[in-house]
């Protein structure tokens, strides 16, 4: 039996298989509002047969967007626009849907990737960024304002309000973004956090604000909602003080003690000096150790593109779930092919049952039979 296609759970959330569609920014929102592109994008992914779909990084404040095109959940208009998309998707798919709530911190106010990704200029609509310290992400970028006590309280409240909107939308999982150099990761890493107060310096202090945000969101969400975090397990920077796997293990243990439902293990993003060895499954060893030492349900991600590779990660206990990102953009029915290769079954919409190749009879389950006239 395929381990990848066995049932599993992220805390209270039961999933029919171990394939997670990772959150992937689309940079196509208008004033934070989801539109027709999101309907098409999420619609096709919701028919893929994966166990869980996580909506892209969604800003909890307008100034927390990476780009002007980033999705948001900070206003009534944002909530209504996303509801329209979700209502249409749910009319044709039973796939559980989660959302990644995020704040870009000092990496906000940027161009879209296909427009270069650099910081916006004032004449291009730039806004003031914020961070744990007044340190820019790159030397040629404007520095952020260091968040004071009022700013920290405001950001935490924004995460809570966005989580409440997510619950109102019927989303079944909330992933807090503490990876890829965005605000919560900035607090964790001494590269970006050089505060001298209770939120900087020691590991316990640097972990304080991300854990306060988690605690507040977990308290605001009903028990049946899975609440976890995406974490950069390493900064991949060799020089100076940096965020490491050892520290990530301690953070994951703290998250587990607070009732975290899962941890989604990525890496990098906080420094332009990072040196990442991009090989197949390069982040899986991070996920394996964090899973072993924290006991949290763990999602592995990063250059996992082969079905047997994904199956082995789950079978060997390296992670509980495997997240697919760019590979499923390229091949939206990746789980169908994976199930065919592994001799498993996968859920497919009735309208597509006739696509099942004759040699793969049973791929869509025994009930997937169709008569012809």
182, 199, 282, 352: the catalytic one is 182
Please indicate whether residue 182 is annotated as part of the active site.
yes
Beta bridge partners of 131: 146
Contacts (Cβ under 8 Å, ≥6 apart) of 104:
59, 64, 65, 66, 70, 110, 129, 182, 183
Tokens 């206003």 found at = 75
State the catalytic residues. 182
């Amino acid at each position: 039996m395929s381990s990848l296609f066995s049932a599993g759970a992220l805390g209270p959330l039961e999933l029919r298989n171990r394939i997670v569609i990772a959150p992937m920014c689309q940079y196509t929102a208008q004033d934070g509002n989801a539109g027709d592109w999101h309907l098409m994008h999420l619609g096709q992914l919701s028919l893929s047969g994966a166990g869980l779909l996580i909506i892209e990084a969604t800003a909890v404040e307008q100034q927390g967007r990476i780009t002007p095109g980033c999705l948001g959940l900070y206003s009534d208009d944002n909530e209504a626009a996303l509801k329209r998309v979700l209502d249409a998707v749910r009319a044709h798919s039973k796939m559980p849907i989660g959302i990644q709530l995020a704040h870009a911190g000092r990496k906000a106010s940027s161009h879209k990737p296909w427009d270069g990704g650099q910081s916006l200029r004032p004449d291009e609509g730039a806004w003031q960024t914020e961070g744990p310290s007044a340190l820019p992400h790159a030397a040629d970028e404007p520095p952020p304002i260091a968040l004071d006590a009022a700013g920290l309280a405001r950001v935490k409240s924004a995460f809570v309000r966005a989580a409440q909107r997510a619950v109102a939308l019927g989303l079944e999982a909330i992933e807090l973004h503490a990876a890829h150099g965005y605000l919560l990761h900035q607090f964790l890493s001494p590269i970006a956090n050089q505060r001298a107060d209770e939120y900087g310096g020691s590991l316990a202090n640097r972990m304080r604000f991300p854990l306060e945000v988690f605690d507040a969101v977990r308290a605001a969400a009903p028990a049946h909602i899975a609440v976890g975090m995406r974490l950069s397990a390493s900064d991949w920077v060799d020089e100076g003080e940096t965020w490491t796997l050892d520290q990530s293990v301690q953070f994951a243990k703290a998250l587990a003690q607070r009732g975290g439902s899962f941890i989604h293990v990525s890496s990098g993003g906080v420094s332009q000096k990072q040196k990442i060895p991009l090989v197949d499954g390069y982040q899986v060893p991070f996920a394996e150790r964090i899973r072993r030492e924290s006991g949290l349900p763990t999602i592995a991600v990063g250059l996992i593109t082969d079905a047997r590779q994904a199956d082995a990660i789950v079978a060997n206990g390296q992670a509980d779930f495997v997240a697919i990102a760019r590979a499923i953009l390229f091949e939206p029915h990746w789980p169908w092919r994976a199930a065919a290769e592994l001799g498993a079954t996968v859920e497919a919409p009735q309208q597509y049952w006739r696509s099942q190749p004759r040699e793969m009879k049973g791929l869509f389950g025994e009930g997937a039979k169709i008569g012809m006239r």
